[in-house]
Amino acid sequence: MAQSTRALGRSGIQVSALGMGCWAIAGPWAEGNTPLGWGAVDDEESIRTVRRALDLGVTLFDTADTYGAGNGERVLGRALAGRRDEAVIATKWGFTFDERTRQATGPDASPAYLRRAVRDSLRRLGTDRIDLYQLHLADLPIARAQALVGTLEELVAEGLIRAYGWSTDRPDRAAAFGQDAPHATAVQHSLSVLRDAPDLLDLCEKYDLASISCGPLGMGLLTGKYHPASTLPYDDVRGITSGWLEWFRGGRPAPEWLRRVQAVRSALTADGRTLAQGALGWIWARSSRAIPIPGCRSVAQLEENAAALDLGPLSPDHFAEVERQLAALRAAALREVDRPYWPSPM
């Protein structure tokens, strides 16, 4: 069954069942000497990629003000010029940065910064409204996050944002917004065939929230192009050793995750899909609320991902076979101590 659109939680907004993550097209930025981007990118190719996504029916574009220290929003705004009404824009706030030096400068969870950040994002995006505005501070204490709800509701009333959510892998954080915040409509969290998130998916069902699924291709592992000898450059965030980034270590794919990719490859590709298309099909089969947002840096990568829309969810038999192959591995991977708190790189 082909897949086309899904509801963005309880907002009344309809989006394509596949989104496009825009972290990778934002270009370099760093915290000190530690890179936080995916290396150098061609902004013109990024613009062509976003426009091709629209042509193929992809309408949800997820970015953050800190990606590229503002450059990610500017590139997305340029790409959507003249086609803004075809797109649903999701962006995030919470981390401060210096646009001139492209340096991250720390978090700010104050209501005053929230008001300043939304207007800066609107300016960079070249739009008069943000469709989904997401808190980017994954581990912010619940009381401090709830103190922002009043300001978020004011921004909704002023027409500057349509709905909001929280980018966090913490179920208690997601529940706090889901049960108490009137225009909260989504939680962005890590979800892939390699890393299930049953607690968060249950919360999305309970509170009528969309699951914006980041990392659906395991930061590239589920494209099938990486092998044990692959290396990534230092200016790529995957090329560093970091406690929150589990898929790669020391600039190489983590062997345990490559083994898991190999374990499910045959089941994900059994009906003629590519590995990436099978991984996206698994997410759609896993939850009717899940909207995967794989990143891409070229038209070719986008076209492969978008072709999954015509293939739809994995069949029940293929889904069951993937689950059978991964059952023992996933039980170990779901230990709380192992979970990465996506998508907060700082």
Q: Is residue 66 part of a domain?
A: yes
Q: Is residue 58 part of a domain?
A: yes
Instruction: Report the alpha-carbon distance of residue 107 to residue 97 in Å, rounded.
Output: 9
Give the model's confidence band at 331: pLDDT under 50 very low, under 70 low, under 90 confident, else very high.
Answer: low
> Are 184 and 162 a contacting pair, CB within 8 Å?
no
pLDDT digits (tens, 9 = 90+) for 194-212: 999 999 999 999 999 999 9
| pLDDT at 338 (0 to 100) | 43
**Residue 151: what residue type?**
T
Q: Is residue 122 part of a domain?
A: yes
The CA-based diameter of the chain, rounded to the nearest angstrom, is: 53
**How would you classify the pairing of strands 184-190 and 210-214?**
parallel
Is it the case that residue 247 has pLDDT exceeding 90? no
- The residue-averaged pLDDT of 250-255 equals 88
On the CB side of 87, CA atoms within 13 Å amount to 29
298: which DSSP letter?
S
Domain range for 204: 5-217+286-312
Q: Is residue 114 part of a domain?
A: yes
CATH number of the domain encompassing residue 51:
3.20.20.100
Instruction: Give the predicted TM-score (pTM) of the model.
Output: 0.94
Looking at 129-143, 209-223, 321-335, which range is the least confident one?
321-335
> To the nearest whole percent, how much of the chain has pLDDT over 70?
92
- The residue-averaged pLDDT of 302-329 equals 92
Looking at 84-98, 103-117, 158-172, 225-239, which range is the least confident one?
225-239
Is it the case that residue 244 has pLDDT exceeding 80? no
Q: Is residue 281 part of a domain?
A: no
Give the model's confidence band at 337: pLDDT under 50 very low, under 70 low, under 90 confident, else very high.
Answer: very low
CA-nearest of 180, 214, 182, 221 to 200 is 214
Give the model's confidence band at 249: pLDDT under 50 very low, under 70 low, under 90 confident, else very high.
Answer: confident
38: which DSSP letter?
B
pLDDT digits (tens, 9 = 90+) for 98-124: 999 999 999 999 999 999 999 999 999
Number of domains into which the chain is organized: 1
Q: Is residue 243 part of a domain?
A: no
